[in-house]
Chain A
Amino acid sequence: ELKVEQNPLFLSMQEGKNYTIYCNYSTTSDRLYWYRQDPGKSLESLFVLLSNGAVKQEGRLMASLDTKARLSTLHITAAVHDLSATYFCAVDAFYGGSQGNLIFGKGTKLSVKP
């Protein structure tokens, strides 16, 4: 059974600082997704990572994927308050069973303070 673990689950950081969120998964997968959720809102797709070594950047966020280590990271550079949200990673469970099934981590609640 595919399991996805994120850490930390809660992150409070100051504006201007850098930090990394980690996403580990337990079985082989070739695609990983990062989503953002604001309080009371829907999930917004941030990145789709499709292969080992994939790196994608959007503004102050950069995501990478290491399929051999079964690890993805979401790096935040010079955080600003607008980045405050909950960030989820999700792994395609195709190799573990159901095609198209995404297994989500528990989410990292990020709070950026002035």
Chain B
Amino acid sequence: NAGVTQTPKFQVLKTGQSMTLQCAQDMNHNSMYWYRQDPGMGLRLIYYSASEGTTDKGEVPNGYNVSRLNKREFSLRLESAAPSQTSVYFCASEGLSNEKLFFGSGTQLSVL
């Protein structure tokens, strides 16, 4: 009963470095999402994927790219990390378009 699994749990990057955050779900859900959580800002949507093969921008997409590799996996890539991207990143999935999101446990990213 893994649900939504995110890796890594923690990451420290230097400005300009790149990395990919991995997310996988085992609930056969169609839709997957990437959010970032900052103090006092709540959760803000970066990108989402309504189904395998499609991706769309959310509220704060700049500086990020995503790949919906297959139905299970949805990755988030930072090509050139900036200190403003220091945040906690959450992946989520949704099964029946009923807006009930299931979240992973998050990736805490620090960019120095």
Chains A and B belong together in one complex: no
